[in-house]
Chains A and B, each alone.
Chain A
Amino acid sequence: MKVRVDPERCQGHTLCSMIAPALFTLDDEDGHSTAIDGEVPADQESKAAEAIRSCPEQAISVIP
């Protein structure tokens, strides 16, 4: 699986990177999130799912 943060929806709540720091990077200037390129490692899949559930703006999705 891969994950994506919709930049139009993200408002910089930072929960995703708190939950899964290996999968999401926060912009230095405004704290908005970007997901890593490429496949989510198998041992990070549950963290990715929890980040998706926890996003207050529902900005994170799985891309096939």
Chain B
Amino acid sequence: MTTENDAERKKNRYHFDRHTPEYRHQFADVTAEMLDKCPVAWSDTYGGHWVAAGHGEVFELARSAEYLSNDHDPAHERRGYKGISIPTPDVGFRGGFLEMDPPEQRHYRQLLNPYLSPAAVARWTPLVDELVRASLNEKIESGRIDFVDDLANIVPAVLTLGMLGVPLVNWDIYVEPVHASVYTPPNSPDQARIMASRIAMRDDMMAQLAEIRANPRPGLIDALARAEINGTVPPDFELLGVISLLIGGGFDTTTALTSRSLEWLAEHPSERERLSRNRGTLLDSATEEFLRYFTPAPGDGRTVSADCVIAGQEFKEGERVWLSWAMSNRDPEVFPNPNEVELDRTGNRHHSFGLGIHRCIGSNVARMVFKRMVTAVLDRMPDYVCDPAGAEHYQTIGIIQGMKHLPATFTPGPRTGDGLDETIARMQVLVDEQRLAEPVTVRKGAATVK
């Protein structure tokens, strides 16, 4: 009777493949159809898995950690679950606490929250402003910029390394492998080069962990190097998974949000003018709206850990579920005119940082850095025009909804202060002298920029 029961359970079916270019092109139509007909559907792709698109359904599922596991267990030490990626990548390692369940997951969050809370993140704002100013300085006199390469790729990366306790000058070891790994198709001839850059990044990560362990300096890596999780010292490969998660989460997501938003603002100059003029009242709601509309990280996978019924759907242990933040963010039940950007939208319960116990630990970083970058562009390049011929979106939106390039022109302006290399060197001194990367429990005040 299992077969009949299965046919009944899986009667809502949808062929869902978010890794194809067609899905990107047809996103609004696919989303509207799924929301209308099958807010939870069975898809036969990637070995078969559930797809949750409805806002209410995603809300219920994401907050049911007792039935939906994030665990990734490539060594089959537990139940062999496959973590948050669908399909499961070939690399057999766990992606930090996002691929763990409580209590381990909770121990990591409690350890790292004091570095990433709103109060902790606010301390870095003066440093971010310096990095943004210097990045724009490099281009301001020429009247030309690529908002991805020259701004949105740089600032989140340098800041993330600062918070980790890695020398800021190492940012270019890290930025390319993270960015390129997301957008390069598996069969691309460029893969060998990207793999080499990933190995260089991993080598530096291991070197930093060893160095910080030998000569402690503050930051997220220091917390990990001294961590006891559930009464045991985690092995280095697990810590590297955590560091990789923090880097992967800290870099390309904010880059994607910033480039997509700057492109939209260029296409809607009167809205750009309105946002710039009313930023005191509009910047917060506009940021949430860009987060909703562009959903940089479009979803997460889970594994059903016990037979259950959630949001009216019967699930069996071991089944895989894709929670689509991107599609649930377009649900007209919650968001009137879901396919329009409304900078003053209210009741914006978007899912762009996930929900429940796995809420993006870097959400406060993302918001702060995004706002500082966008307002600086509005101040110094208010008339920028993007070049549609040079703007390059990722071919697929299965992992990150980002851009490779966003070139723009604008009326040239004067430099203010020093350039990027000098600024990064000054910021390193500041981070070291002011011990900015300590947790907020140890060090409270904002950075002082001389």
Write the residues of chain A forming the contact surface with B, with a CB cutoff of 8 angstroms: 11-15, 17-19, 26-31, 50, 53-58
Contacts and interface: CB of A to CB of B under 8 A. Distances in A.
A28 B117 contact: yes
A20 B353 CA distance: 20
Given A29-B440, A53-B347, A11 B118 contact: no
Contact of B355 (A27, A53, A57): A57
Contact of B346 (A12, A18, A31, A50): A50
B118 A56 contact: no
B284 A18 contact: yes
Interface size range on B against A: 20 to 34
Contacts of A56: 349-351, 353, 355
Contact of B119 (A26, A50, A53, A55): A26
Given A11-B356, A11-B357, A57-B355, A31 B349 contact: no
Contacts of A13: 353, 359, 363
A12 B117 contact: yes
Contacts of B357: 11
Given A15-B288, A57-B356, A31 B117 contact: yes
B279 interface: no
21 contacts: A11-B355, A11-B357, A12-B117, A12-B363, A13-B353, A18-B284, A26-B119, A27-B117, A28-B114, A28-B120, A28-B441, A29-B114, A29-B440, A31-B117, A31-B118, A31-B119, A53-B349, A54-B348, A55-B349, A57-B355, A58-B59
Contacts of B359: 11-13
Contacts, number: 65
Contacts of A17: 118
Nearest to B367: A14
Contacts of A54: 346-349
B227 to A, nearest CB: 16
A26 B117 contact: yes
A17 B355 CA distance: 18
B375 interface: no
Given A11-B359, A19-B284, A30-B110, 18 more contacts: A12-B359, A13-B363, A26-B117, A27-B117, A29-B113, A29-B114, A29-B117, A29-B119, A29-B441, A31-B113, A31-B119, A50-B347, A53-B347, A54-B347, A54-B349, A55-B349, A57-B355, A58-B349
B37 interface: no
Contacts of B356: 11, 57
A57 B349 CA distance: 8
Given A12-B117, A13-B353, A14-B118, A28 B347 contact: no
B288 A57 contact: no
Contacts of A31: 113, 117-119, 364
Contacts of B444: 28
B349 A28 contact: no
A19 B346 CA distance: 10
B160 to A, nearest CB: 18
B118 to A, nearest CB: 5
A22 B351 CA distance: 25
A22 B288 CA distance: 20
A35 B118 CA distance: 16
